[in-house]
Amino acid sequence: MKLYLATSNLHKIEELKKMLSEAGLNREVHTAEALGGMPEVIEDKDTFSGNALKKARALAALLPSDGLALADDSGICIEAFDGAPGVRSARYAGEDATDESNLDKLIREMESIPDGQRRGAFVCHLAAVLPGGDEVVFEGEVRGSILRERKGVNGFGYDPVFLPEGRNRTTAEMSQDEKTTISHRGIATRKFIAWLKEGDS
């Protein structure tokens, strides 16, 4: 079964290929470009699963008979903000927000939050839609705290201010391999790979 990701991000493709290989699975992995590009999807659901499934279903409509569509929706959830920005993490500072503007807004709006109350979590929901229409969602979460200033230059998004529980470095200070071992997307992807292996057995 070929895997198609609802993304044009080649880094995500390489990451999945590497994780599949390490798990002993040989699968072709493609971006949506292999199917003519990702259909336009408005991410208007109020849950990560809802948005991930919406993207995966749109891609699944283009699939060959031996294809499986994969899409994720991810974000950061801050306890002091009742889980916000959540599904709006990528658009936290507005519809045309950049990583920098989102990060600036989060740092600014959390300025008055005491150190002991700056808990949050990165959340990822990875949706798979099979050729027959069956759907499965795999969830990953990593908890931590939000720093008052940026540290590190790796990663993207909110990585420079996210300090995972039990770690002394932000996810932006970690190598990609180290981050993948603990990240929300890595956790969700390993659950998906375990499910694939079970289907092969």
Phi, psi of 192, deg, nearest 5: -65, -45
Q: Choose among 59, 200, 33, 179: nearest CA to 129.
A: 59
Query: What does the block give as tokens for 185?
Result: 């997307």
Sign of CA dihedral 173, 177, 181, 186: positive
Quick one: pLDDT at residue 184? Answer: 95
Q: Choose among 173, 68, 162: nearest CA to 110.
A: 162
CA pair distance 72, 55, nearest whole angstrom: 8
Q: How many domains does the chain have?
A: 1
What CATH number is associated with residue 124? 3.90.950.10
Quick one: pLDDT at residue 201? Answer: 54
CA pair distance 57, 164, nearest whole angstrom: 32
Choose, from 46, 66, 72, 73, the residue flagged as catalytic: 73
pLDDT, averaged per 10 consecutive residues of the chain (201 residues), comes to 86 86 90 90 95 96 91 96 96 94 97 96 97 93 98 93 97 92 94 89 54
3-state SS track over 7-51: CCCHHHHHHHHHHHHHCCCCCCEEEHHHHCCCCCCCCCCCCHHHH
Which structural domain, as residue segments, surrounds residue 9? 2-200
Q: Are the C-beta atoms of residues 55 and 42 closer than 8 Å to each other?
A: no
* Residue 73 is a catalytic residue: yes
Quick one: pLDDT at residue 176? Answer: 86
Cα 53 from chain centroid (whole Å)? 13
The residue behind tokens 């994720």 is 72
